[in-house]
């Protein structure tokens, strides 16, 4: 009885403390994007197809399944079944077989075999339905030597697509700016933070990267030539060139979904306004006309609408307009600071994520929020700290953002329902993250 | 005395000649190949051997020509249920049902009895996920206590696309029928069919209830 009383007390006090001074409501969303139970899957260590594996490569037999496990858990669609230590002791099993996984509650088993050739690695992978005792997927994958992690990501995406019909994000990357001494250079890494590599070596300040829809190019603002110009970086050649060097600011650029236009902020007329330009740099049209600051444009997935930040009402708020800048409507009304919107690329879940000051006063936290593209109540995804620059994953189920603690800034991801916070970088110097689209096959 | 031998020689000679120059226009006719369909029971509670069940995939599989959708199809399926065709002798499990039904739909879903056209579809996860997605997309426009029921037939192709959708048994309320149809179409495409499932498509008779 005492225990129950204590529990009641605990919940009522947490409820009291959970009351925030603002009126935002944290909506409870379904855990998995389709609203169903996650698939319980067992992932076995891979076998060696032959014994010709070089000594330094044996670890891939367990590393590749580990990467796949990480990808599947991240996707929100899967629950990876552990080979439980108690079970192992009771049944004296060292190598689990079909029956063991069945008893442990796995609904699917992923089995694979690797074979290493001088320049290539092959993986033969089977996904087995435990109830039906039949294969759901049987596929062969290959990659060049040295790209074993990428192979694992490809396998994970194939499993996700086979079982859910949706494309995964395991093979995507992130780009971000990272502080080195007094400069900021662009870096890229896999979505899980691995495979970090430096893109620019300008010894200058580079900001706001944005991927082209085919993930082959990045536009960004660079002070390389002294003024904030818009540059384009080609990922295959590693070369960069300026595309918009108008007088004043050329900043916060973003590609349209068809890749034919870039929306950005220019100050050629004195005041920061939104413009549309071609990737060659030619101005197509001016989108906004007012005395306030208009910045941070983002396109709807069909390219017909634009959301952006404007302080025309006195404080920064999110607005939505037609693709030509007409029919502007205000989207956010909660809080006195709402900025840097990003429109979800998933048309089935039309949300816009942004940074909002959630506690009303001047010292309030800056949290990552999400709101329906037609307005309504906001959902607050994060609950602490100084969070900036949210960007959606290509499936619209995750958001990447940077979080500042003191003078340290790192990249994090969070699920669209506010669960599954993960730290991507730990250098304390990363900001301005952006999630790449899926590479075109 | 020579004549019988001579006549026999002549006859044999001509027979050999005729056989040698017989016009080879008629092709060799083989007896029609028999299509054997092996049925699997939905294996949820089955005992568990270390399964290499993949090796008993029914082959060769009869590839059916797509039947033009229409009420005839329903009749045909009804007949099939009553009289299983000759070329499908239930070889391994003679008592297997000619159809798979998931009748015990949970109370809070709009679904009644779901009948599968393909008896050899043991992947319950696939059906669960499919019904779940349709359920998510389902919005009932009819506000009344009237019991309504619509049966919709559709096919899921290998890569998950929905085809041949038709209202098989209308409810009498076109808005209800159309909402059911919309729920399926807006869930299209579903996940790809499992690789071990050898049929060209999965045919589903889905009942919506209110």
* Each residue's pLDDT tens digit, A88-120: 777 777 777 888 888 888 999 999 999 998 899
> Which of B133, B195, B196 faces A34 most closely, judged by CB atoms?
B133
Q: How far is CA A395 from the centre of its chain?
A: 9
Q: Is A97 on the interface with B (CB under 8 A)?
A: yes
Chain A interface test: which of B38, B42, B45, B194 (most A C-beta within 10 Å): B194
**Average pLDDT of span A161-187:** 93
Average pLDDT rounded to a whole number, residues A343-372: 85
Write out the two tokens for A155: 């396998």
Q: Which residues of B touch A161 (CB under 8 A)?
A: 191-192
pLDDT above 70 (res B128): yes
If you average pLDDT over residues B47-75, what whole number do you get? 38
CB of A134 less than 8 A from some CB of B: yes
Chain B residue with the nearest C-alpha to that of A103: B48
Please check the confidence at residue A388 and state whether its pLDDT lies above 60.
yes
Strands A108-116 and A47-48: parallel
pLDDT at A99: 83
- Concatenating the DSSP letter of every residue in B163-205 gives EEEEEEE--S-HHHHHHHHHHHHTT-S-PPPPTT--SSEEEEE
Q: Is A164 in Cβ contact with B54 (below 8 Å)?
A: no
Which H/E stretch holds residue A206? strand A206-211
Q: Can you tell me whether residue B157 is helix, strand or coil?
A: strand
- What would the pLDDT profile of A34-83 be if each residue is shown by its tens digit? 667 889 999 999 999 887 788 888 899 999 999 999 999 999 899 999 88
Class of domain A39-164: alpha beta
How confident is residue A32, by pLDDT bands cut at 50, 70 and 90?
low
User: How confident is residue A151, by pLDDT bands cut at 50, 70 and 90?
Assistant: very high
pLDDT 10s digits, A296-323: 999 999 999 999 999 999 999 999 999 9
Contact: A163, B53; criterion CB under 8 Å: no
* 3 state DSSP class of A65: helix
Question: Which residues in chain B have Cβ-Cβ distances shorter than 8 Å to A110?
Answer: none
- Whose tokens are 């019991």? That residue is B147
Q: What is the DSSP string of A375-424?
A: ----EE---SSEEEEEEE-TTSSEEEEEEEETTEEEEEEEETTS---EE-
B150 vs B48, residue with greater confidence:
B150
CB A175, CB A434: distance < 8 Å: yes
CATH numeric code, A173-435: 2.120.10.30
Helices A148-164 and B124-137: crossing angle in degrees, nearest 10, is 70
DSSP string spanning B95-153? T--SSEEE----TTSSEEEEEES-TT---HHHHHHHHHHHHHH------SS---EEEEE
A231, containing H or E segment: strand A229-234
pLDDT band at B118 (very low <50, low <70, confident <90, very high): confident
| B56 φ/ψ angles, rounded to the nearest 5 degrees | -110, 40
Indicate the residue of A34, A39, A131 with minimum beta-carbon distance to B44. Answer: A131
pLDDT tens across A222-235, in order?
A: 999 999 999 999 99
Nearest one of A27, A4, A9, A1 to A371, comparing CA atoms: A27
> Residue A307: its pLDDT value, please?
97
Vertex B148 angle, CA B146 and B150, to 5°: 170
Shortest distance, CA B44 to any CA of chain A (angstroms): 5
Q: Do A34 and B189 touch (CB under 8 A)?
A: no
Token digits for A58? Answer: 């044996």
pLDDT recorded at residue A289: 92
Tokens of A102: 């069945």
CATH topology agreement for domains A39-164 and A173-435: no
Does the distance separating the beta carbons of B191 and A129 come in below 8 Å?
Answer: no
Lookup: tokens for A276:
């549309």
B136 contact residues in A (CB cutoff 8 A): 34-35
**Average pLDDT along chain B:** 68
**Higher-scoring residue by pLDDT: A395, B23:** A395
Q: What is the pLDDT of residue A414?
A: 95
Query: B182 to chain A nearest CA, in Å?
Result: 15
Give every CB contact of residue A194 below 8 A, 6+ residues apart in sequence: A149
More confident residue, A135 or B18: A135
Report the residue of A77, A133, A348 to disrupt the B interface, i.e. the one with the largest count of B CBs within 10 Å.
A133
CATH of B100-210 given 3.30.1460, 3.30.1150, 3.40.50, 3.40.1350: 3.30.1150
- What is the per-residue pLDDT for A84? 75
Cβ(A272)–Cβ(A293) below 8 Å: yes
Of the pLDDT bands very low, low, confident and very high (cuts 50, 70, 90), residue B62 is very low
Domain boundaries, chain A: 39-164, 173-435
The answer, yes or no, to whether residue B169 has pLDDT greater than 70, is yes
Provide the pLDDT for residue B1: 53
What per-residue confidence (pLDDT) applies to A257? 94
Under an 8 A CB cutoff, do B195 and A137 touch?
Answer: yes
pLDDT of residue A384: 83
Higher pLDDT, A280 or A99: A280
Q: Is the pLDDT of residue A336 over 70?
A: yes
Q: What is the mean pLDDT of chain A?
A: 87
User: How far does A39 lie from chain B, in Å, by closest CA?
Assistant: 9
> Nearest-5° angle of CA A368, CA A277, CA A248?
75
Residue B42's closest chain A neighbor by CA?
Answer: A132
Give A193 or B49, the one with higher predicted confidence.
A193
Residues 109-128 of B with CB under 8 A from A: 122-125, 128
Q: Which of residues 164-193 of B touch A (CB under 8 A)?
A: 189-192
Least confident of A351-365, A368-382, B39-53, B184-198: B39-53
Residue with tokens 């270390």: B50
Are B186 and B137 in contact, with CB atoms under 8 Å apart?
A: yes
CA-CA distance, B179 to B208, in Å (whole number)? 10
| CA A397 remoteness from chain centre | 8
Q: For position A360, what pLDDT does the model report?
A: 56
Domains of chain B: which residue ranges? 100-210
CA-based nearest residue in chain B for residue A158 = B192
Q: pLDDT tier at B30 (50, 70, 90 boundaries)?
A: very low
- Model-level pTM? 0.76
pLDDT of residue B48 exceeding 90, the answer is no
What local confidence, expressed as pLDDT, does residue B42 receive? 32
A394 vs A164: CA distance, rounded Å? 16
pLDDT (tens digit per residue) in A186-218: 999 999 999 999 999 999 999 999 999 999 999
Q: Is the pLDDT of residue A152 over 50?
A: yes
Q: A136 — contact with chain B (CB < 8 Å)?
A: yes
């Amino acid at each position: 009885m005492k225990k129950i009383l204590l529990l009641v007390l605990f919940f009522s006090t947490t409820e009291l403390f959970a009351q925030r001074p603002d009126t935002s409501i944290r909506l409870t969303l379904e855990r998995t994007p389709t609203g169903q139970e996650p698939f319980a899957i067992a992932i076995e260590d891979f076998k060696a197809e032959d014994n010709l594996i070089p000594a330094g490569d044996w670890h891939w037999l367990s590393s590749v399944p580990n990467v796949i496990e990480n990808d599947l858990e991240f996707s929100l669609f899967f629950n990876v079944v552990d080979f439980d230590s108690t079970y192992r002791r009771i049944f004296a099993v060292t190598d689990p077989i079909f029956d063991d996984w069945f008893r442990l509650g796995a609904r699917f088993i992923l089995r694979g075999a690797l074979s290493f050739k001088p320049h290539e690695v092959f993986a033969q992978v089977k996904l087995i339905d435990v109830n039906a005792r039949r294969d759901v997927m049987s596929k062969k994958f290959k990659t060049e030597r040295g790209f074993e992690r990428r192979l694992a990501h490809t396998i994970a995406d194939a499993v996700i697509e086979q079982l859910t019909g949706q494309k995964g994000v395991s093979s995507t990357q992130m780009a971000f700016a990272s502080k080195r001494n007094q400069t900021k250079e662009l870096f890229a890494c896999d979505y899980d933070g691995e495979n970090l590599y430096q893109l620019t070596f300008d010894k200058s300040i580079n900001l706001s990267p944005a991927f082209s829809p085919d993930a082959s190019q990045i536009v960004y603002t660079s002070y390389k030539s002294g003024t904030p110009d818009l540059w384009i970086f080609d990922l295959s050649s590693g070369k960069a060139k300026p595309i918009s060097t108008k007088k004043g600011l050329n900043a916060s650029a973003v590609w349209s979904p068809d890749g034919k236009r870039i929306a950005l902020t220019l100050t050629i007329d004195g005041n920061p306004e939104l413009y549309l330009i071609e990737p060659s740099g030619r101005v197509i049209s001016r989108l906004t006309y007012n005395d306030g600051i208009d910045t941070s444009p983002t396109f709807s997935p069909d390219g017909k609408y634009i959301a952006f930040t404007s302080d025309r009402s006195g404080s920064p708020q999110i607005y939505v307009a037609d693709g030509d800048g007409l029919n502007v409507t205000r989207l956010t009304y909660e809080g006195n600071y709402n900025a840097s919107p990003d429109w979800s690329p998933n048309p089935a879940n039309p949300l816009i994520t942004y940074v909002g000051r959630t506690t009303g006063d001047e010292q309030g936290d800056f949290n990552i929020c999400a709101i329906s593209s037609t307005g309504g109540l906001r959902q607050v995804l994060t609950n602490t700290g100084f969070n900036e620059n949210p960007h959606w994953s290509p499936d619209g189920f995750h958001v990447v953002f940077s979080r500042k603690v003191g003078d340290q800034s790192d990249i994090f991801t969070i699920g669209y329902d506010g669960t599954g916070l993960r730290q991507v970088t730990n250098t304390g110097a990363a900001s301005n993250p952006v999630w790449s689209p899926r590479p075109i096959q | 005395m020579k004549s019988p031998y001579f006549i026999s020689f002549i006859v044999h000679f001509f027979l050999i000649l005729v056989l040698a120059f017989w016009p080879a226009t008629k092709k060799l006719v083989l007896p029609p190949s028999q299509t054997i369909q092996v049925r699997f029971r939905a294996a949820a509670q089955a005992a568990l051997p270390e399964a290499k069940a993949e090796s008993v995939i029914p082959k060769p599989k009869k590839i059916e020509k797509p039947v033009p959708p229409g009420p005839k199809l329903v009749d045909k399926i009804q007949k099939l249920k009553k009289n299983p065709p000759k070329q499908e002798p239930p070889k391994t499990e003679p008592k297997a049902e000619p159809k798979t039904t998931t009748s015990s739909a949970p109370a809070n879903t709009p679904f009644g009895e779901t009948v599968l056209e393909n008896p050899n579809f043991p992947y319950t996860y696939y059906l669960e996920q499919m019904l779940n997605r349709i359920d998510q997309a389902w919005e009932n426009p009819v506000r009344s206590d009237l019991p309504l029921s619509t049966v919709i037939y559709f096919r899921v192709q290998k890569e998950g696309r929905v085809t041949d959708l038709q209202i098989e048994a209308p409810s009498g309320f076109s808005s209800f029928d159309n909402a059911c149809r919309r729920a399926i179409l807006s869930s299209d495409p579903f996940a790809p069919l499992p690789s071990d499932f050898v049929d060209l498509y999965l045919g589903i008779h889905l009942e919506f209830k209110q």
